[in-house]
Structure 1
Amino acid sequence: MGLRISGKGQQSHRMVIFFAVFILTTLLILYGSNNTSDGVYIPFHVAISHAVKTADLRKLAGRDGYLPVFGNKSMNLHCRNCALVTSSSHVLGSRAGDEIDRTECVIRMNDAPTSGYETDVGNRTTLRVVAHSSVFRVMRRPNEYMRRTDYNSTIIFWGPPNKIWKDAKGTLFRLIQRIGMTYSNLSFFSISPNKMRKFDNLFSRETGRDRQKSHSWLSTGWFTMVIAIEICDNIKVYGMVPPNYCGRKPGSKKMPYHYYKPRESDECTTYLQNENNRRGHHHRFITEKQVFARWAKLYNITFTSPKWGDTSCTAEKQTSTAD
């Protein structure tokens, strides 16, 4: 009789353990499922437990990393003061055009035009940074992008080496080379494969995440900011929102992603969708702005339209937003 009771006790004990393990496993599966399907993508810096080692970007600057598209020109642009004009619709209504045009060097991105927007974005262009995906759009309007520039203006193309590097010899490279031959008054450069790797490594070092493994695409804004730091002593950025601007959900006021495409999707919606998406490759705009906030005091960067607050507190604010 005692043995039978002991056996039942052991059986009950096993059942308790079984159900405990079952419940714990179920909870872990549900938790993991929620995190992978529709959980909020926490900006990269939040996941970093170690101190971030910010590199000296000006020491990383290498003229050999910018290869002439045609001829033997060298990339030797240097400016005391730069206006970095973003493509954001936040520049509209700023009436900053005159101030921008008075700046020694004016930097623009991709196919952002000046025609019709001079009051807000100015008219001059000293440097334009163009992604491989925007080359054809830029080429379709040569009067806008090739002639409405400063004398001896510079255009830098970036993209995968197998698309823009001379060894690729594809349609895109031939088009870029033809541009360099046609507009000899401008200086055209492409970023070398070695320097492209440096941009990737910089992202990993500043965020603690490998770009490729985290399924991230670097934005033209990332390339432009790093290049601006390399060539400018002081940078004033027009139209870039701070990293905590959009919060968890898009605000009530809709702002087109580009100032020259009024029917385009809302900027905050675009930022949050890219930041939160874990499938496929996406730009991590908010994460990049976290890094820019860290760089602001190191490299004399200020932001306007909208004006940023204390950049030293930005990461802390974003952390509380993401929690």
Structure 2
Amino acid sequence: MERATSDLKFRWRVRDLIILLAFWQCILMTLCLLYFLHNQSVDLDRQRLVNLENARFSRDSGDFHSRLKATLKPPTKKGEEEARFIKNIITEAPVIGEEIKSLPGYISIIGNKTLHMTCRTCSLVSSSGQLSGKGAGADIDDADCVLRMNAAPVKGYEEDVGYRTTARIIGHPNLQKSLQEDEDMKQEILDDQNTRTDFVIIPWLYEVDINQTSDPVYLLAKNYSKEYPSVEFYLFTKEKLQETGREFERQVGMTRKEAHTWFSTGFVTMLFAIDICGKIDVYGLPPENYCQSHPNSKILYHYYNDSINKLECTYYAASEKKLHMGHKFLTEKAIFSQWAIHRNIRFHYPSWKPVLRNLTQLNSPFLKLYNEAKKNGTLSKLQNPSSKRQKSSKMSNCSGSVTDCKAEESKNYTVVRTFYKNGRRIVVKRVVKISKKPSA
């Protein structure tokens, strides 16, 4: 009995020893694996820096005339002096592991050079108030390329929107308002070495044929490209503008002219990002149903303070319901959702995923109103409300009996002239008085 007990205890000791040895062997293997991975990471970082140095290219090279800001950037929370130091010592370099491709849809304003640009990862930053207080700046700056819209500032908002800018996509009506009429923004976008962009991309939002000898926006961009040689100015070609129109028609089921709308800067910026980016992280663009699911939203249209700031959802709803003019923001966001299904696009602040719809055509608020008006036969009146305004204007100036008003209408009429200047719809009304000639 004692012998059996002794054998059992011996077996237990052997078992415990084997378990202990196996435990320490696992720890040793884990440490070895961590050490190996650490060395691999260091080697990759070193190789990355070597590739950056070897891949350095000059602006004089015909194939690589485009330049991108360095992909290694300091976090937004770093001090201003440290950020400036790191930014200045890191060499400008192309995207790692990607062949810089030619983009025939974009042409330089001087020299008629085709844009050569490829970005492995992109941050597409809107000007929406959705970004206020989100602290997304470091994530935004971490991408290879940072794309910004119009003249949304970064100074004073770095914590939320970052400070790097690779390309500014500025819709042609906004170029004069953003730069020529705002000296501070012109310095920030074109001159300040810490905040200036590498590229300015100018799409014409509602025109195709551009007169290069007389168009004021074209001449302004040409002057800026000469005044600020460190910034490259590129235009959408006529073919690219036509392609953009065809894409809108394919998604919406009607032409831009039939919809009485013009493209938003967000729409053409998304198309530009699709052309140059492998992966796109979009910041500050809500889905088309955001306002419906957030009826009490107080988010402002812009994250920065400006004289025309308003509630985002209010502006979206007002623009979407106008059948005769204006941007169709919610319709465009429905298009973005369709694009994101088939491309590597992710949305942040708010974060949302595109939904695959079993529809042949989008069903945005604008399209619902449009199709309903078309079915009821009221589309023509809703798309041309000037005649209605003219009649009401004449009647509002009349006082007295019906007979007197009819007589007044025969004497006075209102001339209404509508035209577009710098992207703004201008209506000029003029009351013309006609005195009755005495009958012979």
**2:228 is aligned with what amino acid?**
Y
SS at match of 2:245: helix
1:260 to 304, 312, 315: 304
Secondary structure of the equivalent of 1:75?
strand
Q: In 2, are the aligned partners of 1:89 and 1:258 still within 8 Å (CA)?
A: yes
In structure 1, how many angstroms separate the alpha carbons of the residues matched to 2:104 and 2:364?
Answer: 42
Contact 1:156 1:189 in 2 (8 A): yes
> Unmatched 5+ residue regions in structure 1?
1-60
Give the direction of change, closer, same or farther, for the CA distance of 1:142–1:173 in structure 2 (3 Å limit). same
Structure 1 distance, partners of 2:332, 2:364, is 17
Tell me if 1:110 matches 2:110: no
Does structure 1 residue 93 correspond to structure 2 residue 133? yes
Q: Whose radius of gyration is greater, 1 or 2?
A: 2
In structure 2, the partner of 1:146 is 190
1:42 aligns to what?
Answer: none
**1:70-103 per-position Cα deviation (integer Å, ceiling 9, x unaligned):** 2344311110000000010001111010111111
Contact 1:164 1:172 in 2 (8 A): no
Q: Provide the rounded CA distance (Å) in 2 between the counterparts of 1:154 and 1:203.
A: 25
8 Å contact from structure 1 (residues 83, 105) kept in 2: yes
Partner secondary structure for residue 142 of structure 1: helix
TM-score between both structures, scaled by the size of structure 2:
0.55
Mapped contact 2:171–2:205 kept (Cα < 8 A): no
SS at match of 1:116: coil
Amino acid at match of 2:161: V
**Corresponding residue of 2:104:** 64
Report the equivalent of 1:180.
225
The DSSP-based 3-state class of the residue aligned with 1:63 is strand
Write the distance in 2 (CA, Å) between the matches of 1:129 and 1:70. Answer: 18
> What residue is the counterpart of 1:216 in the other structure?
261
Alignment partners' CA distance in 2, 1:303 and 1:297: 12
1:204 is the counterpart of 2:249: yes
**CA distance 1:102–1:251, shift in 2 (3 Å):** same
Contact conserved, 1:98 with 1:122, CA < 8 A, in 2? yes
Give the partner amino acid of 1:188. F
> Structure 1 residue 291: deviation in Å?
1.0
Per-residue deviation, residues 6-37 of structure 1 (Å, max 9, x unmatched): xxxxxxxxxxxxxxxxxxxxxxxxxxxxxxxx
| 120-129 vs 213-222, greater mean Cα deviation | 213-222
Q: Residues 81 and 276 (structure 1 numbering): CA distance in 2 closer, same or farther, change over 3 Å?
A: same
Which letter does structure 1 place at the counterpart of 2:282?
V
The offset of 1:175, in angstroms, is 1.1
Give the SS at the match of 1:302: strand
Letter in 1 for 2:148: R
Q: What is the CA–CA distance in structure 2 between the aligned matches of 1:162 and 1:218, rounded to whole Å?
A: 10
* Unmatched segments (≥5 aa) in structure 2: 1-100, 370-440
**RMSD of the TM alignment (CA)?**
2.8
Whether the 8 Å CA contact 1:130–1:158 is kept in 2: the answer is yes
- Which residue in 2 is equivalent to 1:38? none
Deviations 1:212-265 (A, max 9, x none): 0111211111100011000000000000001111129x7223222111136612
Match of 2:86 in 1: none
> Partner of 2:327 in structure 1?
283
Query: CA offsets, 1:170-217, max 9 Å, x none?
Result: 322221101011111111011122211111111001111211011121
Deviates more, 1:227-236 or 1:61-70: 61-70
Aligned residue in 1 for 2:210: 165
Aligned counterparts of 1:319 and 1:73: Cα–Cα separation in 2: 40
Give the fraction of aligned pairs with identical amino acids, expressed as a percent: 34
Note if contact 1:244-1:314 (Cα within 8 Å) is conserved in structure 2.
no
Aligned residues: 260
Say whether the 8 Å CA contact 2:340–2:354 is kept in structure 1. Answer: no
SS in 1 for 2:152: coil
Name which structure has the greater RCO, CA cutoff 8 Å, separation 6+.
1
Q: Distance in 2 between matches of 1:320 and 1:257?
A: 20
- Which TM-score applies when normalising by structure 1? 0.73
Q: CA deviation at 1:169?
A: 2.1
The AA in structure 2 aligned to 1:190 is: L
Matched, 1:294 2:335: no
Alpha-carbon distance between aligned partners in 2 of 1:223 and 1:74, rounded to the nearest angstrom: 18
Q: 1:138 deviation in Å? A: 2.6
Counterpart residue identity of residue 142, structure 1:
K
Cα pair distance change 1:204/1:72, threshold 3 Å: closer
Distance in 2 separating the partners of 1:285 and 1:271: 6
